[in-house]
Each structure stands twice: as structure tokens, then as C-alpha cells.
A and B are shown apart, each in its own frame.
Chain A
Amino acid sequence: KNEVEQSPQNLTAQEGEFITINCSYSVGISALHWLQQHPGGGIVSLFMLSSGKKKHGRLIATINIQEKHSSLHITASHPRDSAVYICAVRDSGGGADGLTFGKGTHLIIQP
């Protein structure tokens, strides 16, 4: 089973700063998800990617398949970006939901 490590576990930054959250995994995958968990607990899917880079508004996700690493970037961060960001990978071997979730990165953006 894949092992997913996220870093940092906790991150506090000032409004406007450029944010980077990292995700590393141990076994080849077919897809990687970035999820955002609101303070109330609900989860929203931000990106699903298997190669390259995706951008949505101020969010950018990149993945390097060879290095087994993905990053989530937030430009011009805002207090409303405060949330837990979760990386999840889908093993190439599939099976069941095939997903392994990271423990999450707790981000706080201060005004």
C-alpha cells in the first residue's frame, strides 16, 4: 500500500504570502487528488491530476511522477484559504477505491 507524506503538518502565514504544500508518495500512482477540508468538516475536491500542472484561480497543483512528488501552491493567500489541505493518491494497481490519504496540512492565513 502506498505511503503518503505531507509537509508541513502545520503552516501559519500572513495574508498575501505565497504558500506551498508538499505531498510525497512511495508507489507509482494513476492519479493524485488535492482536497480542501473546511473548518466545519466538509471536503471539496480542488484538483485531480496524473501529470504536469493544473491551475484554478489562485491555486496551482503540480506533479512530478518520476520523483513521486506533488505540490499545491496558493498565490496571494487570503484568510479564507485557511483550511486543512489533504493529498490523496490512487495506486496504479487500483482495487477498492484505491485511495491512500495523507494526514493533511493545517493552513492558517492571518490578516
Chain B
Amino acid sequence: DGGITQSPKYLFRKEGQNVTLSCEQNLNHDAMYWYRQDPGQGLRLIYYSQIVNDFQKGDIAEGYSVSREKKESFPLTVTSAQKNPTAFYLCASSPGGLGTGELFFGEGSRLTVL
């Protein structure tokens, strides 16, 4: 079945460590997104990418980095520069261009900093 796979589902990190969250899709979608969800808040956009080897900062990109070397993959690295990384992270894709079309989400990754 087509879909978006995120891993790991749960991740614990010590302060000062970088961690990478995986996002893979087999929907052949061009646009991919990373969102952060905190309790009591709406989803916020971290990074987005419309095509391979191109990505743009979203509203809260500081302390995060991404790559888009393959159409299917859009990993997110949470760096030690991110001051408050404990959150739920969601990867999404859409079949149309940026800002168009239905959104497809993964199951999410919950990061906890110890």
C-alpha cells in the first residue's frame, strides 16, 4: 500500500546530541513537509521541499536541518541548537505543487530530550 513511513516512532535524546528522523513515501509525491506539534498548539511548518535537491525553511526552521537527495526521502535532523526539541514530529506529502492538493501524513515521531 502507498503511504508515508516515519521512523522511529519514539526517540529519546540526551542534550547536546543530534538526532535524525526518517520520512519515506512511495506515493510519488513531489512536495514533502515536516511539521512540529506541541500540546495545545496547531501544527507548525519546519521545512518543506517541492523537488529533489531543493528545500526551504518554514516558520520554525532554527535548530533543524533537512535533505532531499531522493524524491522518496525527506529526513529531518534535530540539532543540538534546537533549544526545545521535545515534541511530536509529523512528515507529510502532497501530490500537487506546494500549497495545493490533499495532504498525506505519516504516523509521527515523538522525540523526548532527557
Binding site for B on A (CB under 8 A): 4, 33, 35, 40-45, 48, 86, 88, 90, 94-104
Contact = CB atoms under 8 A, between A and B. Distances in A.
Interface size class of B (residues with CB under 8 A): 20 to 34
Nearest to A47: B102
A19 B41 CA distance: 23
A40 B42 CA distance: 17
Interface string B86-114: 00101010000011011111111010000
Interface string B60-91: 00000000000000000000000000001010
Contact of A96 (B56, B105, B107): B56
Given A42-B107, A86-B42, A96 B98 contact: yes
B102 A48 contact: yes
